[in-house]
Amino acid sequence: MLRSAGILVLFLWLLPPSITAQEPKALPEPDERYKADILAVVAHPDDEAAVTPYLARALDEHKRIAVVFGTHGSSGANEAGAEQAAALGDVREIEARNALMTLGINRVWFLSGKDTATQDVLVSLANWDHGETLEQMVRLVRLTRPEVILTFLPGTFIGEDHGDHQASGVLATEAFDLAGNPAVFPEQVSGPMKRLEPFLENLRPWQAKKIYYFPDAERKDIFRGKGPSYSVKEISKLSGKPYWRMALDAFRAHQTQAKSYLDRIAQMDEAQIEKMATSDGWGEDQHYVLGKSLVGGSVTGDIFEGITPGAIPFVRPEVAPQPVQPDLSIELAGPWSFYAEFRRAHGLTSLPHPEPPEIALQGPGTLVIPLWMRNQTPKAQEVTRSAALPAGWSVENGTGEFMVAAKQTAAARVEVNLPAPPENNTKQAQTVEVTVRAEANGQAIGEAKLRVELRKRALPQ
Ligand SMILES: [Zn+2]
């Protein structure tokens, strides 16, 4: 008996594989319920109002929409109740979901970023745990497989210039360039080899086709003509209301952020609401800036121009070459040099940005000008830094003579004391230029320039 069982086992080994192999069966496909045409990526609950007038139009065109928030908004104000901090974040998550549900959008996710009171995108990215939130963002692109990503323009400007808004634009851009690459977060795009294997995610790489930005900047001129514009006054086929009005109705969910404003609106009749909308922004056209398109189309054409159904292959971003630096040079560092690198790394060198770079700050206060001083010569160099400032401004520290070692790039900073902003002055009059100049061996080696607006209130630098 034992002997014949052994022969049977041996015999099974020798059978051709087609007899013992599993019957072929279709592999599970991605879940269609989560497929999006548009993925909007913003920072805080209520930031979605920057795009809801356009999203209301896109719903008319039967577009499937998903929205990602970077934070729960836990350090915002609360006009509706006592809840603060993490508890407020829980409340604001529901407000954001309710706002979007008003439009019928229920595919809404939150990254684990945290509110950061800064204009410096690098500080926001650090506070968001950049690596972790990027992994989450890439996962959501692979899950929702968007045709188009809409997000805040990654750049620093005079405006609200919120570091968190910028961070959402940075993460969305990085995810646009990474989600289609199977070598990035490969555990997300690997399938389990064993039954009930609980770690691998079985997503597929996904290359979105276009990315568009909306800027968080006061000046509009440099962005005009860089992408499509949409009137918000047309009437929605779905609701019979203008798009701006649908967006305002959605915004009513944000009681913690705007209860007094929303209570005022609740007292108004239709004519009064319409009049208010023309003065406070709801009635303004929506302007977008084309970041990049992998499917052609014109710069100012419709967001969906050139987009056809189906996946496209992964496209590696075209990295622009590093500009040639003189042997001795000085340049702005911090977020300004980061964005120069970012635009080069992501094929966004035509993305509009102000020249000279600009910032709005609270006065009295301090302006910190971060600098790189490069010395590629084979010997140490004495570099003299000086600052040209408007009347009433003074250098706190950072000017004078400094040694920069041979073949070294040294970090430096100039700190400037800011006066109070002049009373009753126009914004134009309050905007001034600050220049840091550097000399070595009696020769100018470069300068770093900033346009600065003084305000009574601004986010910390
Ligand atoms: Zn915000």
Query: What is the model's pLDDT at position 216?
Result: 84
**Separation of 394 CA from ligand 1 center, angstroms?**
33
5 confidence band (pLDDT: 50, 70, 90): very low
**Separation of 142 CA from ligand 1 center, angstroms?**
25
pLDDT at 6 over 70: no
**Separation of 161 CA from ligand 1 center, angstroms?**
10
Q: Which residue blocks in 119-239 are alpha helix, DSSP H?
A: 121-127, 130-144, 163-178
Residues 278-299: pLDDT tens digits? Answer: 888 899 999 999 999 999 999 9
Q: Starting from the edge strand earliest in sequence, which strands make up the sheet with 408-418, in order?
A: 328-332, 365-375, 408-418, 394-397
Tokens of 99: 């706002």
**Separation of 162 CA from ligand 1 center, angstroms?**
7
Distance separating alpha carbons of residues 164 and 120, to the nearest angstrom: 8
What is the CATH number assigned to the segment(s) 32-293?
A: 3.40.50.10320
Residues 20-59: pLDDT tens digits? Answer: 566 788 888 999 999 999 999 999 999 999 999 999 999 9
426 confidence band (pLDDT: 50, 70, 90): low
Residues 391-400: pLDDT tens digits? Answer: 999 999 999 9
**Separation of 231 CA from ligand 1 center, angstroms?**
23
What is the CATH number assigned to the segment(s) 328-455?
A: 2.60.40.10
Query: What is the model's pLDDT at position 450?
Result: 97
Distance separating alpha carbons of residues 393 and 395, to the nearest angstrom: 7
pLDDT at 236 over 90: yes
- DSSP state at residue 103: T
Listed by start position, the domains of the chain span: 32-293, 328-455
Average pLDDT over residues 434-448: 96
pLDDT at 9 over 50: no
Query: What is the model's pLDDT at position 11?
Result: 47
**Separation of 331 CA from ligand 1 center, angstroms?**
30
CB atoms under 10 Å from CB of 380, counted, come to 13
Residues 132-148: pLDDT tens digits? Answer: 999 999 999 999 999 99
pTM of the shown model: 0.93
Percent of the chain with pLDDT over 70: 94
* Element counts in the chain: helices (H) and strands (E): 12, 17
CA-CA-CA-CA torsion sign (158, 162, 166, 172): negative
**Pairing status of strand 431-440 against strand 328-332:** unpaired
**Separation of 113 CA from ligand 1 center, angstroms?**
12
190-215 per-residue burial string, b: 16 or more CB within 10 A, e: under 16: eeeeeeeeeeebebbbbbbbbbbbbb
**Separation of 377 CA from ligand 1 center, angstroms?**
45
Q: What are phi and psi of 100, to 5 degrees?
A: -75, -30
**Separation of 81 CA from ligand 1 center, angstroms?**
20
Residues 6+ apart with CB under 8 A from 41: 67, 68, 70, 137, 149, 150, 151, 152, 168, 169, 171, 172
**Separation of 165 CA from ligand 1 center, angstroms?**
6
Query: 330 or 19: which carries more pLDDT confidence?
Result: 330
pLDDT at 17 over 60: no
**Separation of 209 CA from ligand 1 center, angstroms?**
26
**Separation of 357 CA from ligand 1 center, angstroms?**
22
Query: What is the model's pLDDT at position 59?
Result: 97
Burial tier of 253 (Cβ tally within 10 Å: 0-12, 13-18, 19+): buried
**Separation of 44 CA from ligand 1 center, angstroms?**
5
Per 3-state DSSP, what percentage of the chain is helix, strand, and coil (rounded to 5)?
A: 30, 25, 45
